[in-house]
Structure 1
Amino acid sequence: MRNTAAEDTLEPDPVDTRLGARLAALRAERGWSLGELAEHSGVSRSTLSRAERAEISPTASLLNRLCHVYGRTMSQLLSEVEAEPALLVRVAEQPVWQDRTSGFVRRSVSPPAPGLRGELVEGRLAAGADIGYDRPPVPGLEQHIWVLAGELEVTAQDIEHHLETGDCLRLRVWGPTRFRCAGPDEVRYALAVVLP
């Protein structure tokens, strides 16, 4: 994924290109203009246009807003730009997405598949990384957050939860959430997501 001005002169990342095309298709399916999507998502028309043309690599926050508008989880959206999911997902085939701006790395360990409501994600946040989501991609989304190494602070429904290695937080997401690496080192966690 690209984020620096020097990288913008390079060819678009193939995942960004497929993601941009899928975002444009989702907007077209609804018959929305960029202006209408901007109103629904709270994202500027220019940012939406650049994301659809793969001129920028979308951030986790931007994708979360669009997922909310389109009623998808981030994993569902990302799986739509990947090949048909297999029953066995080898580690080398697990899609990895990175938001370099926030220091967030997301591995889709068990991507969404037709007929299944759950998925499994590995998240890594660099020391000091802090990600905020203004809304869930799907209201009432069930999440189980299991810290594999490090310390993680999760804020949901205005309650801050401090998790250490081995701790698990279970919740349904209805409003804003925040994930923050609370320790001096990277935090690694497993996130089980189940659609309502």
Structure 2
Amino acid sequence: MRRPEDSLDTRIGARLAELRTQHGLSLGELAERSGVSRSTLSRAERAEISPTATLLNRLCHVFGRTMSQLLSEVEAAPAPLVRAADQQIWQDHGSGFVRRSVSPPHTGLRGELVEGRLAPGADIAYDRPPVTGLEQHLWVLDGALEVTDGEQVHHLDTGDCLRMRVFGPTRFRCAGPVETRYVLAVVRP
């Protein structure tokens, strides 16, 4: 049985604090750069709150890494074979977003695979990419998804694939009455 100090939120919080220190930032400076309040950052670092996808995205932007990289940094060293039972699952309970790291970042590889699930009505907006110019290939497996990339709105149905490089704000919205499930292939520039 895992101890509370071994929870994913605790490990994420500790890693966020390490990254802030490595970048020589105070909580106030990080708050200015990320647009996240100092108190929220402090609570996330102490694992008093479970960080949302939007919060993690903003911090990843400041630290120059993808969300998958951040999450992989709090896991054991990645293996070449990732069994389904070992794939890290992270949930943003507030937005209805579930994220499975199917193929986490690995040394020497630029790509990763993520399975995303959005509950009906789920709507996640990112005000900036975690890494500017990030290449993404989004393949809808079930349901309908509306993706906004800057000013461009894309409506995707089951089987559709959207390819894009991310330079600005994006938004992912479950566009149907049932859960949307998709695969996201992410390639660092």
Fold shared per TM-score above 0.5: yes
Q: In the alignment, is residue 85 of structure 1 matched against residue 78 of structure 2? A: yes
1:12 Cα offset (Å): 6.1
Q: In the alignment, is residue 132 of structure 1 matched against residue 125 of structure 2? A: yes
1:73-152 mapped onto 2 (5 Å cutoff): 73-152=66-145
1:193 — aligned with what? 186
Unmatched 5+ stretches in structure 1: 1-10
1:65 — aligned with what? 58
1:25 — aligned with what? 18
1:63 Cα offset (Å): 0.1
Within 2, Cα distance between the matches of 1:155 and 1:31? 34
1:41 — aligned with what? 34
Within 2, Cα distance between the matches of 1:131 and 1:13? 28
What SS class does the counterpart of residue 13 from structure 2 fall into? helix
Deviations 1:92-144 (A, max 9, x none): 00000000100000000000011100000000000010000000000000000
What SS class does the counterpart of residue 19 from structure 2 fall into? helix
1:39 Cα offset (Å): 0.8
State the aligned residue count. 186
One-letter code of the match for 1:36? E
Runs of 4 or more consecutive aligned structure 1 residues displaced over 6 Å after TM superposition? none
Within 2, Cα distance between the matches of 1:33 and 1:169? 38
**In 2, are the aligned partners of 1:12 and 1:55 still within 8 Å (CA)?**
no
1:30 Cα offset (Å): 1.5
In the superposition, the TM-score normalised over structure 2's length comes to: 0.97
One-letter code of the match for 1:128? G
1:31 Cα offset (Å): 1.5
Residue number among 37, 47, 53 corresponding to 1:54 in the alignment: 47
Unmatched 5+ stretches in structure 2: none
